[in-house]
Structure 1
């Protein structure tokens, strides 16, 4: 799978995603206690802790519950192995409902982790990538400009959470110092990281936000666009002119957050594998789901058996035809052998054979050596006799 955001699949509307880090030492025990308590309180229909799969690092926890009476939600939390240079253990949570997600539904995070509003009982809400950021608390921006830019750049690079930058027009009281995320709908509460800029930091924070193409109004808020920004994102439409830090519900801000969450966005890095694990490795089945799965397996086996039977019949038919053809070939009468034919001679070969015939003919006309000697001896005797006659 490509790591490019443009190559990743879009997050389905039925899916709820979250990622964080538990900084304690007993994360597995905290999860088990929470799941058991919610099962006893009948908040959960059931939960399970499947055996560690070979292809999934860490521990896996599953939970199933219902919302709006009859809508089933299935969720899977993977508790990642501890890393040498990190405190605690990271976790990835994926939940999927039977219909598009409603932000009014309970947060899936509170089905696995304790829902302590102040976050003091268990520190499971730490940001997974940027140190010192919390999901359920106010995160003051650093006083140093370089550190501020580092924090905002790190927040913009990841897309698991929605990062909200709020500017305090004046120093808030005790109610205004509380996080705005506690006033958000449950479905958004643990997906938003709230950054706070002090009254004197307006110029510095807007200078840091300039590289992202957004600006926070005085006493207002703006959503930090992820990199790359989702289609349809407009920084002006995702800014709020005024946010009242008096404990009242920020209706305008909630509307902006909901519109932003509804934009089609690519799955964050690592979310596609987590969603595949939820859909394909789910073990917490109801009786009806088990029966349906068994029927599906039986249907697959029947299709495979039918394909094997059809293949066997085709093979048998082909073998029978081959045997019939072989028998017909054996029973056919033998054909008379054709006389061998000389291969066509090349011109050089023909010329060689002509010279060979001439040489043999000349040899046959030449007299034998013995006959030649007798004839020569006769001619010599005849010459001597004639010479004797002339002298006498």
Structure 2
């Protein structure tokens, strides 16, 4: 790769992130149906379906935090809460967006998903993606933001050299997913054509995108990957692509597998390399930080205990604000009384200034007023 820089901000170990495009006609309806079905089945504790304007105005945990605003192109905000490993609570927020600029009508609707658990994420937990999206091939929610790339299937590398290099750059710089390139030493049968991600644990399955190079692409793909990313693709093998900024601890040789049998059997070595890569401290992708902030500071779906704690916190804050206002009022009242006392001393109590020459020179109105305020400032007087 051209640079080996790494971001100082990494994805927290309790967080699951995803971003993609839904190419169907009714993405929000697909989400609603799935959420309703999973809640009825007892998989979800609860969920919310919010208008983005409503979500921004009614932010519960941080009502004045502008970072909770999903943005002007947001279409809908969904929240869901469920439990894993018996008692570990997971909170997740999915937002759908209209593309700011569309090259064509089929670009679909962009979605961003952020989930956070109460402890470090376990790859064997259910995928947050399938809590919102139905895990069906008939619902096209699983397209990456990189054009022509999709999860849950195999993506053949472009034949054109320039398109191939551009695909590699986009996948490493723009995508939020782990990208793996597998070279087919020979054209596989139906079993070998099945995506290898099917062997991965549930939560990792929707974080991996698999690319395939045909037998005749061995040399051109290897050259392009070496030039663009600084990695090699062995004939009949596979490689886990680096990210840009590069993931700390990534070594091309370590994440290269020399031989992968595409016969339907479990590719144990490649799966181990993918799991190892997924466990590395990965730089937070561009655009992920606002999504994580909204999840934490723009959350609405509270449990009864959280609602009670929130109400108690609000009562405390209102009491503190009222106390501050009362103290401010008392200070203003004391200042007004001091001013009235000073004025009375200057005017002799009748509100009429003394005639010129009747007061002693040292008892001028200015000196009397200064003296009165001096007594007010001095607690001993």
Under a length normalisation based on structure 1, what TM-score does the superposition of the two structures give? 0.77
User: How far apart, CA to CA, are the structure 2 residues paired with 1:195 and 1:249?
Assistant: 17
Deviations 1:333-390 (A, max 9, x none): 94348xxxxxxxxxxxxxxxxxxxxxxxxxxxxxxxxxxxxxxxxxxxxxxxxxxxxx
Match of 1:303? 320
Match of 1:68? 85
User: How far apart, CA to CA, are the structure 1 residues paired with 2:290 and 2:105?
Assistant: 22
Higher relative contact order (CA 8 A, sep 6+): 2
The one of 103, 106, 110 aligned to 2:130: 110
Could you say if the C-alpha distance between residues 318 and 336 of structure 1 is closer, same or farther in structure 2, counting changes exceeding 3 Å?
Answer: closer
Deviations 1:1-48 (A, max 9, x none): xxxx97784322111111111111121221111111111111111122
Contact 1:238–1:256, Cα closer than 8 Å, also in 2? yes
Query: In structure 2, the residue corresponding to 1:264 is in which secondary structure?
Result: coil
How many residues are treated as equivalent by the alignment?
329
Alignment partner of 1:139 is 2:155: yes
Question: Within 5 Å, which residues of 2 pair with 1:347-366?
Answer: none
Could you say if the C-alpha distance between residues 252 and 313 of structure 1 is closer, same or farther in structure 2, counting changes exceeding 3 Å?
Answer: farther
Contact 2:6–2:246, Cα closer than 8 Å, also in 1? no
User: How far apart, CA to CA, are the structure 2 residues paired with 1:219 and 1:322?
Assistant: 92
Match of 2:290? 273
User: How far apart, CA to CA, are the structure 2 residues paired with 1:234 and 1:7?
Assistant: 17
Alignment partner of 1:16 is 2:16: yes
Question: Within 5 Å, which residues of 2 pair with 1:23-172?
Answer: 23-53=23-53, 55-56=69-70, 57-81=74-98, 84=102, 85-87=104-106, 88-116=108-136, 119=137, 121-128=138-145, 130-172=146-188
User: How far apart, CA to CA, are the structure 2 residues paired with 1:323 and 1:9?
Assistant: 60
User: How far apart, CA to CA, are the structure 2 residues paired with 1:126 and 1:8?
Assistant: 29
Alignment partner of 1:178 is 2:198: no
Contact 1:243–1:253, Cα closer than 8 Å, also in 2? yes
Under a length normalisation based on structure 2, what TM-score does the superposition of the two structures give? 0.79
Question: Within 5 Å, which residues of 2 pair with 1:197-216?
Answer: 197-210=213-226, 211-216=228-233
In structure 1, list runs of 5 or more residues that go unmatched: 338-392
Could you say if the C-alpha distance between residues 242 and 320 of structure 1 is closer, same or farther in structure 2, counting changes exceeding 3 Å?
Answer: farther
The one of 287, 298, 303 aligned to 2:304: 287
Match of 1:235? 252
User: How far apart, CA to CA, are the structure 1 residues paired with 2:267 and 2:204?
Assistant: 13
CA RMSD of superposed structures (Å)? 2.5
Match of 1:355? none
Contact 2:97–2:110, Cα closer than 8 Å, also in 1? yes
In structure 2, list runs of 5 or more residues that go unmatched: 57-68, 349-357, 363-381
Deviations 1:216-261 (A, max 9, x none): 2232221211222123222222222332323333333233223322
